[in-house]
A and B are shown apart, each in its own frame.
Chain A
Amino acid sequence: MREQKTYMLNMGPAHPAMHGVVRLLLELEGEKIVNTEVEIGFLHRAFEKHGEAETWNNVVPWTDRLNYVSPLINNVGYCMAVEKLAGITLPERGQYLRVIASEISRVTDHLTCVGASAMELGAFTPFLYLIKAREYLYQLVDQLTGARITTSYTRVGGVKADMPANFPEQCKEVFKKVREAISDTDKLLTKNRIFMDRVDGTGIISKEDALAYGITGPFLRSTGVPYDVRRAHPYLVYDQLNFEVPVGTKGDNFDRYLCRLAEIEQSLRILEQCFEKIPQGKHSLEPKEMKNAFEYQDAGKHGETALLAKYKAKVDQTLAGGQRGDRPDVLTQDPIFVMPAKEDAYGSIEGLMNHFELVMWSWGIKIPAGESYFAVEGGNGELGFRVVSSGDDRPWRVRCRPPCLFIMAALPKLLNGSWVADVIPTFGSVNMIAGELDR
């Protein structure tokens, strides 16, 4: 007598094809997947609980660690939610800088996803090309924010600092290299028989299923639904920028790959427009003579306040952007929400008091009681933040709507009925970022 049985295969939590830690439990019938269970939570770091214990601005560094491939978008999303609740509007230059930061991050996110999923299918060369291009972009992010990944660039009310003087020129150079890498990848992969066999027609999800699972981002657009938060609810200056929303037709892995490549090009287009349209900083004064911070403070203590206006404080690298200079162009100038310029803090009693009122325990910025939900287009889709305030100096609740959680929940739908080998391209195209998924 013959008997047919299914058997279980455990993939993960630490598996070469699982980026990050997640466990797939596959029920197999031969090579065919009958059923799938996804277990998540291995990287849970209690972001939301920590958010309740930090002051409003101190949550920003935690948001870096959500989607660590595109941290700047998380920074922007969180701060926009808080600003919506507080009713703060940003200076236009600050808004453009946020768009520039988000779009650079989106490109790095897509480059990582396309590169890593190609590598898992054996295409190592495109991976190296794309990661090299990503590295150039990370260097730009480093120039802009002072860090490659843990950026913490935004503040409630604006951004940390203006961009460096030659930033647009540097970007132009880098975009050339990114475009080269994309075109090389396109030549290597898009008509490659081995690659096509693995991705074309695998991991198909229908429009209806994608909507039922709340999927957004490139994953939804590959099924043909052109939903993009930047279009549906334009935030910052996206309504003044020209870009297309690339869509697919079938909703398979190949469509998602093409969508991501097309979106990289659109993001680069947005960036180029930003550098053309960004208003010049009005407040940028002639480069003044710099004085060390301690000299500045001494002059203040001796009452030489008339002299102080002539000098710019030379501060530690970690405080760069805190000086007078371009600050009013990128940060809202409301003393209730924004730290005073370092010159004011060192040189005048009002500035010093303002500084201390904002850093003292339970005296920090106070956001009016209420609740707000704000969503930005993240690398994987609608990245939403819901913040609740009780009128205190820290959030009552911070909720992050992680876009890849919704795709991961649909994974059984994508995998059941396909082959074990299809797990690799399908899971690669999900672009699961464990930091965001598990929070």
Chain B
Amino acid sequence: MIPAEIKRVEAAKNFEELKSLKDAGYNVLVDLTAIDYQGHPNPPIKERFDVVYEIMKLDAATGDDKGRVEVRCGVDEKPVLRSAAPLWPIADWLEREVWDMFGVGFADREGIKRLLMYEEFEGHALRKDYPITKRQPLIGPESGELKDSPSFNIVRPTIKYE
């Protein structure tokens, strides 16, 4: 039934905690997501967003899952979390998704790019205060080229990881 040990960590210390877990053999970042608790009748945390890192210790030889840990950090809108991309390259995309959907930023990722929505999209769609009926026009770049947009004609370097 996929049991996972839950570890609640102070948001500013997330990287240290993840790094120590990675050193302890937790080699796969299974999922990274967030939950918006605004307006929840009994929120389990006092901050607005709960960011969840699900990590797994996978034995590459036998394919057994030797245990999972859920590292949880409560954050508000201020970006205090550090990026986990230096540990697991997949964190790059997952963090982009968390930023895109919840507006939870990462302190060491300036100019983070959206993953699923287009760049001109305003707001963060999975926040509880974003109404489900709200519509926005699909805006495309008129000239086909945006000066400061990283998605057009600029290929970003591949991320290095340990």
Contact = CB atoms under 8 A, between A and B. Distances in A.
Interface of A: 8, 25, 27, 35-37, 39-41, 44, 46, 48-50, 52-53, 84, 207, 211-214, 224-228, 231-233, 235, 245, 369, 371, 373-375, 382, 384, 386, 388, 390-391, 396-397, 399, 401, 405-406, 409-410, 412-413, 416, 438-439
Contacts, number: 118
Nearest to A81: B2
A73 B37 CA distance: 29
Interface in B26-76: 27-31, 33, 35-36, 40-42, 52, 54, 58, 60, 62-65, 70
A232 B36 contact: no
Q: Which of B1, B54, B63, B101 has the most CB of A within 10 A?
A: B63
A235 B101 CA distance: 31
Contacts of A49: 125-126, 130, 132
A384 B93 contact: no
B155 interface: yes
B20 interface: no
A390 B41 contact: yes
A213 B118 CA distance: 24
A432 to B, nearest CB: 14
B118 A212 contact: no
B159 to A, nearest CB: 9
B89 A212 contact: yes
A413 B92 CA distance: 13
B155 A409 contact: no
Contacts of B156: 37
Q: Which of B60, B126, B157 has the most CB of A within 10 A?
A: B60
B71 to A, nearest CB: 13
A25 B31 CA distance: 26
A40 B92 CA distance: 14
Given A214-B30, A401-B30, A439-B116, A227 B158 contact: no
Contact of A40 (B52, B116, B158): B116
B63 A225 contact: yes
